[in-house]
Structure 1
Amino acid sequence: MALGAGQHAGKILAAVAVLLMLPVLFVLMLPSLIFGGLTSSGNSGQPILNDNTAIVQNMSDIAFAVNEILGEGIIDAEARIAQDFATSGGDNYEIVNPYAADMTSNANSFIAQYCAAKGETWDSISLADMQTLLRQGKANLYSYTRTSEVRTVEDDDPETEDVVETKEETWYIYTLSYNGEGYFADTVFHLTDDQKALANDYASNLSLFLGDGLFQYTEYSGTMIASLGDVRFTDGVTEVVYFNQLDERWANKPYGTDNIGGYGCGPTSMSIVVSSLTDDIVDPIEMAQWAYENGGWCSKSGSYHALIPNAAKAWGLNVEGCTASEPQRIVDALSNGKLVVAIMTKGHFTSGGHFIVLRGVKDGQIMVADPASTTRSGKLWDLSIILNEASKRAGAGGPFWIIG
């Protein structure tokens, strides 16, 4: 009996070792880029692998650097547009830039592609080197399309006083389009098919290693729930439009190359928020598509935390980040009719990572709209549970986002 138990334990350990091997190798290949050296210390004086603050700061530095280069890419595209217009013969032009407010990107993908391109020369990996390579390809970050139209405009004629003169002009409208991280795999890093597969593994393993709310997955084996129809919670200050990611209307619909039922808690939470706080009813299908097109989707990991503030701003909503050390801000916001999105880790709401919406306060407890559970959405929760189980490594201002 003891021998059988020992063999069983050995198999489990072997399986765990296999699962952990790629993350460990991945960490070893990124000492200076992600962790600043495996043996160096973070701000707390402890080994940086145990320093959540230092790890998050390093990742934030990388994301900031990537976004800075994205901004340079827009400037480059605008310069190319000006050159194009100069030869067009048109009277005037305008640029439609969907990324003016927020330049979102899949930083994990850039990191993974860069590391895959370095191959066995991982000791030369650095943020500065990565920036240099990315800048070499900034002219390929954005493309544009051009259309034209005739517009009637006022003609400022100094010889006329009260009479307003008009004239017709030919305008060119340039619309910017972000080519995406996949474009870089071919044009900057020149990855082979094997390197592309390795880059995908690296990105997934980075998400798994950082964990703590970054890897979001709902227990979903294809079994959907019946359509809930129009569900609204009216027991709080704000009437909340509720959506469930497992609803048969969209559970199997795509979220990138994943599905909403398994990975769509982020866009479903923002469907709840946007539909409740604006005049626009946005279902999870539409929000998942928006998230995919605007850099919110993380393959096999759910959503980047930046999806929450970026989507809120895209729909004209005010959003403020909030930490677990500010419970009164959360309570005050909910009491004033605002909604709060939270990224949760293992506990009452999830076994991994999961976005939920805090929708009000009743009898000193918190009302929620859980996009994966109508049961949990019907309960009252102690704020202490939510604070204790919120992500400790949340990015983009989280783990709480006050919206409204």
Structure 2
Amino acid sequence: MAEDQRNDSPNPLETGVSAAHNLRGAIKAGKTVSGAAKGAAAGPYGAAAGALWENRKTAGKLLAGMAVLLLLPVLFLLLLPGLVFGGFSDPHTSFDPDNPVFNSATAIVEICNEITAAITTVLNEGLADVEERIRADFTASDGDEMEVINPYAGNLIYNANQFVSQYCAAKEADFQAISISDMAGMMRKNKKHLYSYRRTEEIREKTETDETTGEETVISEKWMIYTILYNGEAYFADEVFSLSEEQKELADNYAQNLSLFLGDGMNQHMGGWDGTGIPSLGDVRFTDGGMEVVYFNQMDERYAGKPYGTDRIGSSGCGPTAMAIVVSTLTGTVVDPVEMAEWAYENGYWCKNSGSYHALIPGAAGHFGLSVSGCTASEPQRILDALSEGKLVVAIMAKGHFTKSGHFIVLRGVKDGKILVADPGSFSRSEQLWDLSIILNEASRRAGAGGPFWIIG
């Protein structure tokens, strides 16, 4: 009878183990999980984790005795949803007590909001820490005055998906300890690694007037100019989470899967890019939308192989290319993708293996003297009004017609009631007319820096 039951009703734990092994193989091959948000248990992640949850008493004993020999790959696989889905202690959350967390968009969104809030808190503490180090450095210097340039004041930049993935990778088999507070504590202990600073010296002159004689004297002062630098998640992988090369690879793929799962457009890296570009398009300008728009394509052979950080414009440079289109069009001064990629990298907007932080858009617009205003998908009339006024709108897109993961495009006009775009990754898509509903529906659901749309001009 027992044998018959095993054959008729597979053990849920065994099912979970099988699903986990299969998914881990896909992840190691660099594949993403496109259906993670569907199904009764949120796809393969949910199938494996749900099986363990359903049998957590039995699984706990099994894992305690056999994890090292048998289930370490399964445990490692489950580390990521262990944080995103609220841990392993209970399949329900207070955000939606009537539904398992795997099936509750409300619960998952709230958990992700908590993760973001925790990371933001620690990053702000990191800023305070680097400012204190700067003051100490100035005190020990021979400078007369100091100036601190903090590009992150009120506008932090980071990739939460990378933090989550690296933290989970660092925990190894200690899955029971995974929690948002534990991740925040781990980061807080290493907050000195979050930011660094660059110091330059400058002689500045000022004029002082003698109150009695009215005589003016020019005085030279040595100024210490400090620029705060965000070190980036790739640096944290080494200095904060101390990941091995295999852990880094898996964490990077986990982060890509998480971005796809959340639909946030944070991953704009084309992993399958083979390094080749398209023949030079030459000087392309669109005039069919009521204004002349300068066009660049990141795959153009003039730009595709050029560096964007340690990546390439062809694989990861849609953000700088989009802003090259915007700046060149609206300022009248041509700034090509190579120049914009260099500027973005030097100013901390490049995210290794992921493309660009969303803050690149308002950051670059402000630097080049353009007004910028964030806009949500629930404000279609603002987008239409802006385009009719000769402004451009940058959008960060999630999976759909424009991308398999994340991609910046430029909305450049309205024609016959439809939207014209300048897509940095496709000239053919840039010649098509698009329903605004498609763009609104496929825009990032969790954009940062005021997005998923930025009205510029």
1:184 to 229, 232, 236: 236
Report the CA distance shift for 1:320/1:60 in structure 2 as closer, same or farther (over 3 A).
farther
3-state SS of the aligned residue for 1:342? Answer: strand
1:136 to 177, 186, 189: 189
Report the CA distance shift for 1:238/1:126 in structure 2 as closer, same or farther (over 3 A).
farther
Distance in 1 between the 2:258 and 2:210 partners?
A: 63
Once the two structures are TM-superposed, the CA of residue 27 in structure 1 deviates from its matched residue by: 7.1
Distance in 2 between the 1:111 and 1:147 partners?
A: 35
Distance in 1 between the 2:152 and 2:210 partners?
A: 37
Alignment-derived partner of residue 121 in structure 1: 174
Distance in 2 between the 1:91 and 1:311 partners?
A: 32
| Counterpart residue type for residue 389 of structure 1 | E
Query: 51-60 or 78-87: which moved more?
Result: 51-60
Q: Give unpaired runs (5+ residues) of structure 1.
A: 1-13
Q: Give unpaired runs (5+ residues) of structure 2.
A: 1-20, 34-44, 46-73
Once the two structures are TM-superposed, the CA of residue 307 in structure 1 deviates from its matched residue by: 3.5
Distance in 2 between the 1:40 and 1:95 partners?
A: 46
Once the two structures are TM-superposed, the CA of residue 254 in structure 1 deviates from its matched residue by: 2.8
Distance in 1 between the 2:428 and 2:250 partners?
A: 40
3-state SS of the aligned residue for 2:438? Answer: helix
Say if 2:80 is the partner of 1:73: no
1:3-402 matches, cutoff 5 A: 18-19=25-26, 24=45, 28-31=78-81, 33-37=83-87, 39-40=91-92, 42=95, 46-52=99-105, 54-100=107-153, 102-161=155-214, 163-211=215-263, 213-216=265-268, 220-294=273-347, 296-402=349-455
Distance in 2 between the 1:107 and 1:394 partners?
A: 11
Once the two structures are TM-superposed, the CA of residue 333 in structure 1 deviates from its matched residue by: 1.3
Report the CA distance shift for 1:403/1:123 in structure 2 as closer, same or farther (over 3 A).
farther
3-state SS of the aligned residue for 2:300? Answer: coil
Q: Indicate if the aligned counterparts of 2:259 and 2:405 stay in contact, CA closer than 8 A.
A: no
Count how many residue pairs are aligned between Structure 1 and Structure 2: 390
Q: Indicate if the aligned counterparts of 2:82 and 2:175 stay in contact, CA closer than 8 A.
A: no
CA deviations on 1:45-86 (whole Å, 9 max, x unpaired) are 654444445544543443343333333223222222222222
Once the two structures are TM-superposed, the CA of residue 322 in structure 1 deviates from its matched residue by: 2.8
Once the two structures are TM-superposed, the CA of residue 335 in structure 1 deviates from its matched residue by: 0.9
Distance in 1 between the 2:97 and 2:342 partners?
A: 41
Q: Indicate if the aligned counterparts of 2:159 and 2:266 stay in contact, CA closer than 8 A.
A: no
3-state SS of the aligned residue for 1:175? Answer: strand
3-state SS of the aligned residue for 1:33? Answer: helix
Distance in 2 between the 1:141 and 1:181 partners?
A: 9
Once the two structures are TM-superposed, the CA of residue 128 in structure 1 deviates from its matched residue by: 1.8
Report the CA distance shift for 1:134/1:389 in structure 2 as closer, same or farther (over 3 A).
closer
CA deviations on 1:270-310 (whole Å, 9 max, x unpaired) are 22122222354322223333444555444544444444344
Q: Indicate if the aligned counterparts of 1:52 and 1:393 stay in contact, CA closer than 8 A.
A: no
Once the two structures are TM-superposed, the CA of residue 369 in structure 1 deviates from its matched residue by: 0.9
Distance in 1 between the 2:128 and 2:298 partners?
A: 39
Once the two structures are TM-superposed, the CA of residue 205 in structure 1 deviates from its matched residue by: 3.5
Alignment-derived partner of residue 54 in structure 2: none
Once the two structures are TM-superposed, the CA of residue 214 in structure 1 deviates from its matched residue by: 4.1
CA deviations on 1:115-170 (whole Å, 9 max, x unpaired) are 22222112222222222222222223333343434332122533244x43322223
| Counterpart residue type for residue 84 of structure 2 | I
Once the two structures are TM-superposed, the CA of residue 341 in structure 1 deviates from its matched residue by: 1.8
Q: Indicate if the aligned counterparts of 2:80 and 2:254 stay in contact, CA closer than 8 A.
A: no
Q: Indicate if the aligned counterparts of 2:230 and 2:348 stay in contact, CA closer than 8 A.
A: no
CA deviations on 1:81-132 (whole Å, 9 max, x unpaired) are 2222223333222223343463312323322222222221122222222222
Once the two structures are TM-superposed, the CA of residue 329 in structure 1 deviates from its matched residue by: 1.6
Distance in 2 between the 1:339 and 1:353 partners?
A: 20
Report the CA distance shift for 1:90/1:259 in structure 2 as closer, same or farther (over 3 A).
closer
Once the two structures are TM-superposed, the CA of residue 330 in structure 1 deviates from its matched residue by: 1.3
Query: 248-257 or 17-26: which moved more?
Result: 17-26
Once the two structures are TM-superposed, the CA of residue 40 in structure 1 deviates from its matched residue by: 2.4
Query: 301-310 or 101-110: which moved more?
Result: 301-310
Once the two structures are TM-superposed, the CA of residue 238 in structure 1 deviates from its matched residue by: 4.1
Q: Indicate if the aligned counterparts of 2:260 and 2:399 stay in contact, CA closer than 8 A.
A: no
CA deviations on 1:309-341 (whole Å, 9 max, x unpaired) are 443344443333333332212111111122112
Query: 269-278 or 357-366: which moved more?
Result: 269-278
Q: TM-score, normalised by structure 1?
A: 0.82
Distance in 1 between the 2:337 and 2:325 partners?
A: 9
Distance in 2 between the 1:68 and 1:36 partners?
A: 19
Q: Indicate if the aligned counterparts of 2:123 and 2:194 stay in contact, CA closer than 8 A.
A: yes
CA deviations on 1:216-235 (whole Å, 9 max, x unpaired) are 46675444222222222233
How much is the aligned-residue C-alpha RMSD, in angstroms?
A: 3.3
| Counterpart residue type for residue 26 of structure 2 | L
Report the CA distance shift for 1:166/1:108 in structure 2 as closer, same or farther (over 3 A).
same
Higher relative contact order (CA 8 A, sep 6+): 1
Q: Indicate the percent of aligned positions where both proteins have the same amino acid.
A: 60
3-state SS of the aligned residue for 2:334? Answer: coil
| Counterpart residue type for residue 195 of structure 2 | Y
Distance in 1 between the 2:367 and 2:112 partners?
A: 24
